[in-house]
Amino acid sequence: MSLLEVKNLYKSFGGLQAVCDVSFNVQDGMIKALIGPNGAGKTTLFNLISGVLKPDRGEIFFNGLPIHSIPQYKIASYGIARTFQHIRLFPKMTSLENIMIGRHTHTKAGFISCMLSLPFTWKEEKLVREKSMELMKFLGVSELASIDALSLSYGQQRIVELARALACEPKLLLLDEPAAGLNMRETREMGEFISKIREMGITVLLVEHDMSLVMKISDEVLVLSYGQKIAEDNPLSIQKNKEVIRVYLGE
């Protein structure tokens, strides 16, 4: 069954057609990679799926439900979490607090109950803390819990951001260039994490420039060029696809 269905999506900025008639599916439980040269519209597509932008035309379905016209903040409660190309951690908060924000959609204490500090909020808070620590342990960064998130190294920040997205317990995880700025060892680790995340039953859609990483971990690859889909296949066939080679290397 397809978890995510994108149908005839269009988006333009002024005169620039950033995404043009793109359709694809993401099957439940797979890792799908989105590649293409710079300016191909990958990040725009990501922003459309995660609700930051609204499409001009076309539809997006998640688990059979339309998500192209709902407010951005509701996307997370549907079960879609994302990371950002330029890391967007919350400043002046520790790594643990950053990850705890990820549990937002799974908790429900409101203004009044928080002000009165009702007992159920304590329980909720304790669970949030435990769950977040668990995730840090899973990603091997539990010693960073009480450190200010923005003072971490770049690689560590990427992992904390990943943990924050995982804390949402998403069905679909959108990773925007998860290996950007990482060294070779960190990139390899990131690849292992992504595979582990899939084993947890989370479907992953990622944008990535590191081809060796993409070819190693993904089940399917979608290639975009100038806003249009030019190929969609398994990694091996993609590597042999003439059109893709032409786009990347020129004729």
Stretch that binds another protein, among 59-67, 70-78, 181-189, 229-237 (CB under 8 A): 70-78
Interaction between residue 196 and another protein (CB under 8 A): no
- In the set 1, 14, 64, 240, which binds another protein (CB under 8 A)? 14
Interaction between residue 30 and another protein (CB under 8 A): no
Q: What residues between 119 and 138 interact with another protein by CB under 8 A? A: 121, 124-125, 128
User: Would you give the end-to-end CA distance of the chain in angstroms?
Assistant: 38
Please, which residue, 168 or 197, has the CB nearer to another protein? Answer: 168
Interaction between residue 56 and another protein (CB under 8 A): no
Interaction between residue 186 and another protein (CB under 8 A): no
Interaction between residue 32 and another protein (CB under 8 A): no
- In the set 93, 133, 180, 215, which binds another protein (CB under 8 A)? 93
Count of residues engaged in binding another protein, rule: CB under 8 A: 40
Q: How far is the CB of 246 from another protein (least distance, A)?
A: 33
Q: Is the dihedral of CA 44, 46, 49, 51 positive or negative?
A: negative
- In the set 30, 52, 133, 211, which binds another protein (CB under 8 A)? 52
